[in-house]
């Protein structure tokens, strides 16, 4: 952390560092609202339709799960005052188990690698493994994210 501004910079990140955070309460209203706007498949909109599928009941869209994870990630980055610069993307996104209304999601991360940009030395990137678990510690989603972050000075 920089002594002058309290931000976490590229130099402060250490490969192997882990974090656990979050506590996102999934609501029925939010599942239906998100699906209505962005993923209007019947099993995301209707208990009756979902009961006829392998989901068994109303389930959140995988994209909604990603949006909830993004909220928890940003809340964590903000709380830890990271000098973030966004992200060029992610790799290996997997939706492993359904997310249902009433679930409480949390996130575990591990920094896998980091690299300072040669063409833009004022920034670096880091890759993190992201694991998303529900209240029963069931792994529901995994991905690897790539974050951009300012270099100190």
Find the domain containing 40 and state its range: 10-150
Would you say residue 4 lies in a domain?
A: no
Would you say residue 3 lies in a domain?
A: no
DSSP E strand stretches across 2-138: 18-25, 89-95, 104-116, 123-133
In the prediction, which pLDDT does 4 show? 65
Would you say residue 63 lies in a domain?
A: yes
In the prediction, which pLDDT does 1 show? 46
Q: Provide the β-strand partners of residue 144.
A: 91, 129
User: Is 100:74 a contact under the CB 8 Å cutoff?
Assistant: no
In the prediction, which pLDDT does 94 show? 98
Would you say residue 25 lies in a domain?
A: yes
In the prediction, which pLDDT does 5 show? 83
Would you say residue 2 lies in a domain?
A: no
Would you say residue 106 lies in a domain?
A: yes
- What gap in Å lies between CA 76 and CA 112, rounded to an integer? 18
Helix extents (H) in 80-112: none
Dihedral of CA 53/134/106/137: which sign?
negative
In the prediction, which pLDDT does 2 show? 43
In the prediction, which pLDDT does 6 show? 87
Would you say residue 21 lies in a domain?
A: yes
Dihedral of CA 41/45/46/47: which sign?
positive
Count of domains observed in the chain: 1
pLDDT < 50: residue spans in the chain:
1-2
The CATH number that applies at residue 16 is 3.10.129.10
């Amino acid at each position: 952390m920089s002594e002058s501004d309290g931000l976490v910079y590229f130099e402060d990140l250490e490969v192997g560092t882990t974090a656990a955070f979050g506590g996102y309460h999934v609501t029925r209203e939010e599942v239906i609202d998100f699906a209505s706007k962005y993923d209007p498949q019947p099993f995301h909109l209707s208990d009756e339709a979902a009961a006829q599928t392998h989901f068994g009941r109303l389930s959140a869209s995988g994209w909604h799960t990603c949006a909830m994870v993004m909220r928890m990630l940003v809340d964590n980055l903000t709380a830890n005052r990271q000098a973030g610069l966004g992200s060029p993307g992610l790799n290996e996104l997997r939706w492993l188990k359904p997310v249902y209304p009433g679930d409480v999601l949390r996130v575990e991360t591990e920094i896998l690698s980091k690299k300072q940009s040669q063409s833009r030395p004022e920034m670096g990137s880091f890759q993190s493994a992201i694991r998303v678990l529900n209240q029963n510690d069931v792994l529901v989603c995994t991905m690897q994210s790539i974050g951009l972050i300012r270099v100190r000075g």
